[in-house]
Structure 1
Amino acid sequence: MRSWAAEVAPDTPSAPGGPSAAGPLTGLVVVDLSRMLAGPFCTMVLADLGATVIKVEPPFGDLTRPMGPFVEGDGLKAFGGYFQSVNRNKRGMVVDLTRPGGADVVRRLVTTADVLVENYRPGVMERHGLGYESLAELNPRLVYTAVRGFGDPRTGRSPYQDWPSYDIVAQAMGGLLGITGPVGGPPVKTGPGLGDILPAIYAAVGTLAAVREREITGRGRFVDVSMYDAVLAACERIVYQHSYGGTVPGPEGNGHPILSPFDVFPARDGWIAVAAPSDNHWIALCEIIGRPELGEDPRFRTNFDRSRHSGEVRRFLGEWTAGRTRGEITEVLGGRVPVGAVNTAETILADPHVRARGMLHEVEQPGVDHPVTIAAGPIRFAGSPRPPAHRAPLLGEHTADILREAGCTAEDIEHLLRTGAVR
């Protein structure tokens, strides 16, 4: 079934060559040696903002290329939804760092680049002669950003620094799994890969901070983000809960340890979130549901009181929502009390907010004759149209073009192709 996104000002599907509309990072050149999710999500944020991102892949490609999901009828299978979603707006080339001349290609790119992003374990880039110190000698203005499971020894040596890591490991060690799931139950991983996405966003912020500093100092900097650290920083509440009150927070269900009501409640046709921790919202909620006396009840008068009696609050509010549809609930609470239906992908695509905010991109999918839909970035700038999105690159699609732009002659390119240093 076609989504409405195909009917409302779709993005122009085209081969990626950098966004055609200027963004605030236009002119910033990023060499992206990262793979999987954390690094590519970071560079996707930069690309969405107008940076020219050169995705450098090994001959077998980023490990997410074959992971799917694939569109029915796609016989090419150049890449699936995972790769497409986080590698949009990038140019692509293949460099084999294990072949003679491969690392030299990266060094050539770095001489005129602004940023390099990688997410290998400590020491991998150094073994190829591509560590920060070596590249900074070639280009002192280079901002070198590393996203690692447990950080880089340059900024703090971790006992786990040589360990590999994935999203679920970072969520577990950073505290997120420990507070997610039903009360009293086992830990539960969050749906999206926040163990990758959180460090990716912090890395993008750190990168731009270093680029800004370079405008003043003229020199780049090594930027380091640990996946573990990023998840811990996002779970800041558990630290002060323990420090201030001596508690060890556990799985909280859909409620909140210090805010009430702040939960997900049953409706006749699904689930709905309601949050009224402020006293004004609480009084309004009590009036709307026909229980104004609860607004004056000393057990519920303040948020602190309600938190101590959150089970009772949850019970009578749940009884009220259970007899109504989500539409009926949002009709009476919307605009007065914070409320929102628990959406699925299908209902998100039908939500007028998503249409109004342009939160979906339609991009070309090689191998099929119709575009596909992916989520857009959330950053908007007043007075500027949203730049169109370009599909993710085919493996090695722009290798020759990028090498020519880097000053390589036709003979140089032919030699690199013949020796297998590039593809």
Structure 2
Amino acid sequence: MSHSSGEAASGAAPAGALEGIRVIDLTQMLAGPYCTMMLADQGAEVIKIEPLEGEGTRAGGPFRDDDKLQAYGGYFASINRNKKSIALDLKRPEGRALVLRLCRSADVVVENFRAGVMEKLGLSYETLRQENPRLVYASIRGFGDPRTGRSPYTDWPAYDPVAQAMGGIMGITGPDVDTPLKVGPGVGDLVPAAMAAYGILCAVLRAQKTGEGQYVDVSMVDAVLSLCERIVHQRSFQGTNPRPEGNRHPLLSPFGMVRALDGWVTIAAHSDEFWKTLCRLMGRDDLISDPRMADRHARVANRDAVYEAVGEFTGRHTKQQLKELLGGKIPFGPVYQIDEIAEDPHFAVRDMIVEVEHPGCATPVTIAGVPIRMTATPGSVRHRAPLLGEHTDQILGDIGCATEEISSFKQAGIVR
């Protein structure tokens, strides 16, 4: 388990690949903050602009029992690490003027308001582009921005379940054809967040070459559909309308989840080579020559028989026993809960569970680590999520505001 407090635990952390990139973060909830977190993890300077009362997820919890301050909960802590915070009033012209000044020295602006909100604030892409032609402006909205294609649903509000529903993932997830299910994590937010981060970096690379920024538009629904790409080709190539398949793959077998004595495991032994290996490990050489299972097409056509044979074997062993029997020999993995993840050495050696200090708590909390690994410029969790307005003075000082000016802004209730 790696450790990070206010700074890196063992001296200065190596510079991230995005060091020198300044991001103005006007996002909220999950999709936008996760996108900017990805940039911050790789070394970008992310300046989170919050309302004077703070972004709403600060107060949403969950809070640890020993948290005496409750400045922010686990939700905010997890996806706002490595960022700086400035609190200002966007409803005041002085507050909006400060955003314009910040954007003059920025490389990127990210927001996930509903379409038209930034225009009403006088902070549209076109306005900011006049201030800084090389600026990359990114938005994440439920159905995209009219600039790249006006959806009939442009003005609809959307959250994760809406994107999951309309993007197709719910329609192929569930125990049977009549029971669609929401996917556990907020993929309707997280997938567009990752795609927006990718789009931003593409646009930044081009801006560095040409001096010209551009608008990056990601629709949450579009992003989920791209994740479900196989339903598009299945409809085109097979004339099918895919429905929930339970815990099995519709085109590969065995390729899914089966019961163990104490839970569930996954097996992907769909190729002839892996199938033969699995049969021998199960002590079922007879299945290799069974015409119902002789090749990958037969195994798909006779999925029930295949899963019955595999499940009969796995159901007599614990997850740990199956890990020892099958792990490394065929594609195999036990279905983990977070307690098991926390105990598995893989996640420790990969720094995927990271300790950070938490204001108000005597001991550190843990959040998820950085999955993108680079040898020369490793991303990292360098510091905890910021307190509200923790960096206001520093950020305003960096754009030329004198101490007296900052004080007057605070006294007037423009910044905090």
2:234 equivalent in structure 1: 241
Correspondent of 2:66 among 63, 68, 73? 73
Other-structure match for 2:121: 128
2:217 match: secondary structure: strand
Q: Take 2:73 and 2:26, find their aligned partners in 1: how far apart are those partners?
A: 20
Q: Equivalent residue for 1:289? A: 282
The equivalent position to 1:363 in structure 2, one of 356, 361, 366, is 356
Q: Using the TM superposition, give the Cα deviation of residue 13 of structure 1 relative to its aligned residue in structure 2, in angstroms.
A: 4.1
Question: Which residue of the partner structure matches residue 185 of structure 2?
Answer: 192
1:162-311 paired onto structure 2 within 5 Å: 162-311=155-304
- C-alpha separation between the residues in 2 aligned to 1:66 and 1:177? 30
Distance 1:342 1:228 in 2: 28
Query: What amino acid is the match of 2:59?
Result: P
Q: Give the gaps of 5 or more residues in structure 2.
A: none
Q: 2:17 corresponds to which letter in structure 1?
A: P
Instruction: Measure, in 2, the Cα distance between the counterparts of 1:98 and 1:281.
Output: 62
Matched residue, 2:399: 406
Partners of 2:136 and 2:214 within 8 A in 1: yes
SS in 2 for 1:154: helix
CA contact (8 A) 1:149 1:170 kept: yes
CA positional deviation for 1:385: 5.3
Q: Report the Cα distance in structure 2 between the residues aligned to 1:20 and 1:99, rounded to whole angstroms.
A: 38
Q: CA contact under 8 A between 2:41 and 2:381: conserved in structure 1?
A: no
Q: Indicate the percent of aligned positions where both proteins have the same amino acid.
A: 53
Write the deviation string for residues 286-335 of structure 1: whole angstroms up to 9, x where unpaired: 11111112122222122221111111111110000000111111112111
- Cα deviation, residue 346, structure 1: 0.3
1:290 aligned partner, one-letter code: G
Q: Distance in 2 between matches of 1:337 and 1:413?
A: 62
Instruction: Give the one of 144, 169, 179 matched to 2:137.
Output: 144
Aligned to 2:331: 338
Give the counterpart of 2:109 among 94, 101, 116: 116
Look up the match of 2:82: 89
Letter in 2 for 1:232: L
The answer on 1:321 being equivalent to 2:298 is no
* Residues 370, 381 of structure 2: 8 Å contact kept: no
Deviations 1:323-361 (A, max 9, x none): 011111111211110111100010000001001111111
Output one character per residue of 1:6-53: Cα deviation in whole Å (capped at 9) or x when no partner. Answer: xxx5223459xxx85310000100000000000000000000000000
Q: Distance in 2 between matches of 1:297 and 1:422?
A: 73
Is the CA contact 1:92–1:399 (under 8 Å) kept in the aligned structure 2?
yes
Residue 220 and residue 383 in structure 1: after superposition, are their counterparts in 2 closer, same or farther (change >3 A)? closer
Inter-partner Cα distance in structure 1 for 2:237 and 2:122: 47
Partner SS for 1:75 = coil
Deviation of residue 75 (structure 1)? 2.2
Q: Determine whether 1:106 maps to 2:99.
A: yes
Residue aligned with 2:148, SS: coil
CA distance in 2, matches of 1:11, 1:245: 51
Answer whether contact 2:66 2:362 (CA < 8 A) is retained: no
| 1:58 pairs with 2:44 | no
The SS at the match of 1:85 is helix
Q: TM-score, normalised by structure 2?
A: 0.97
Report the counterpart of residue 33 of structure 1 in structure 2.
26
Q: Describe the SS at the equivalent of 1:368.
A: coil
Greater Cα offset, 286-295 or 193-202: 286-295
Paired with 1:234 and 1:28, the residues of 2 have a C-alpha distance of: 28
Whole-angstrom distance in 2 between the partners of 1:337 and 1:358? 26
Q: Shift of the alpha carbon at 1:252?
A: 1.2
Q: Residue 21 of structure 1 contacts residue 388 of structure 1 at CA under 8 Å; is this kept in 2?
A: no
Distance 2:6 2:22 in 1: 23
Moved over 6 A (4+): none
Q: Could you tell me which residue of structure 1 aligns to residue 150 of structure 2?
A: 157
Aligned residue for 1:392?
385
Matching residue's letter, 2:115: P
Task: Show structure 1 runs of 5+ residues with no match.
Answer: none
- Number of equivalenced pairs: 413
Deviation at 1:226, TM superposition (A): 0.3
Q: Which of 19, 24, 30 lines up with 2:17 in the alignment?
A: 24
- Amino acid of the residue matched to residue 113 of structure 2? Y
Deviation at 1:263, TM superposition (A): 1.4
After superposition, the C-alpha distances for 1:241-296 in whole angstroms (9 at most, x for unaligned) are 11111111111111100010011111111111111111110111111111112122
2: CA distance between counterparts of 1:406 and 1:134?
19
Determine the C-alpha separation between the residues in 1 that align with 2:328 and 2:14: 36
Change (3 A) 1:111 1:385: closer
* Alpha-carbon distance in 1 for matches of 2:378, 2:172: 40
Shift of 1:139: 0.3
Alpha-carbon distance in 2 for matches of 1:252, 1:174:
17
Question: What amino acid maps onto 1:69 in structure 2?
Answer: P
